[in-house]
Structure 1
């Protein structure tokens, strides 16, 4: 008696191949979203007029692994400083001395040109002038009169920076790169 080796049916083999391919695609997409680029939604008014509630952004989670944030970067913060994820602009880097006088911001004694700011800038709970320490950032929202930022929360730990907002994908009329 001859033993016959059973061949799996063609549809079973194809189903297995599709399942493996889809599983790999899903895992790669999840890893990409977790560690490289992600989609974020603006939740509040603290970045008006640059960003408004409901806009959707692409967040770069990758590049800050290779270089540090710069003045003017729009960053997404997810750390112990706030219960909420925040979107703010980097104003002060380690070593900078931040001062606020007559509604204007000064870094290391020089007034900075902030064309994107809505409203006047007032000091908050943080004693001004404020020196930004190593591994910290000083961030502020563009809507200065309605922003919970480093003036209230204090400096933000570098490790709390989740990524940089780089691209607006919604609404379509505003589609494009975010200008620093």
Structure 2
């Protein structure tokens, strides 16, 4: 009887250890994936509408621009000394890329579109974007009314297709061409940095504001590749824009 009980206890302990090893292996693989390859991020605000809506889950490639301390998962990069400020296998973003980055003054992830590259001069005049003195083309699509996240008052915007100098096209929203950040600049982008803006131009805190400013490349986490899926936050109401079909959706036209 005692030997039987010992065998049962031994078998149970073996099964427990097998289970522990299995989950440890799964955790190790998961950590490797979100450190080296891809990581999911969620969209908490409407600053990137209509390209990204509140509730979207975005897949971000960690390898797109090389690896820095902020490539480490679970926010570990914030605890690595700033003196360890290097990138391994570095590549620079391209104009029009949507990037996730860290704000040194606010320990959270931000996501915006790259507008200015090192050496560029960026300005906004009368609501129109200028890059190196050239006005960026935009085409009016329609007016839309949407319900901002956490607010019951609808907002009406004009939707445009914007075409950047390298041919990248994407949608933007403008409430008007006379908002507080519709006449700013010029900004000369320093080396090893980029200038970023939200697609929802009058509802985005981005490089036009000193609280964000130029984004150093060592602060960039990765490139947003696609919307994997969404937990839709808007409700269908007459006259209110509420997009559907946001699964494996690209971030450019």
State the TM-score bracket (shorter-chain normalisation). 0.7 to 0.9
| Equivalent-residue separation in structure 1 for 2:246 and 2:201 (angstroms) | 22
Aligned counterpart in structure 2 of residue 112 of structure 1, from 121, 128, 136: 136
TM alignment of 1:53-72, pairs within 5 A = 53-65=54-66, 66=89, 67-72=91-96
- The CA deviation at 1:31 is 2.2
- For 2:203, the equivalent position in structure 1 comes to 146
Is 1:79 aligned to residue 103 of structure 2? yes
TM-score, normalising length: structure 1: 0.83
- What's the counterpart of residue 225 of structure 2? 166
8 Å CA contact 1:165, 1:178 repeated in 2: no
SS at match of 2:171: coil
Q: Could you tell me whether the CA contact under 8 Å between 2:122 and 2:185 is conserved in 1?
A: yes
Contact in 1 for aligned 2:129/2:135 (Cα 8 Å) = yes
TM-score under structure 2 normalisation? 0.61
Rate the CA distance shift 1:93–1:82 in 2: closer, same or farther, 3 A: farther
Unaligned runs of 5+ in 2: 1-6, 67-88, 138-161, 163-169, 231-243
Q: Distance in 2 between matches of 1:81 and 1:103?
A: 28
d(CA) in 1 for partners of 2:223, 2:198: 14
- CA drift of 1:141 comes to 0.4
Tell me, in whole angstroms, the C-alpha distance in 1 between the residues paired with 2:23 and 2:172. 46
Unaligned runs of 5+ in 1: 1-6
> Alignment partner for residue 132 of structure 1, among 161, 174, 189?
189
Aligned residues: 175
Determine if contact 1:100/1:123 at 8 Å carries over to the other structure: no
Find the counterpart in structure 2 of residue 41 from structure 1: 42
Aligned partner of 2:51 in structure 1 is 50
Deviation at 1:160, TM superposition (A): 1.3
Higher strand share goes to which structure?
A: 2
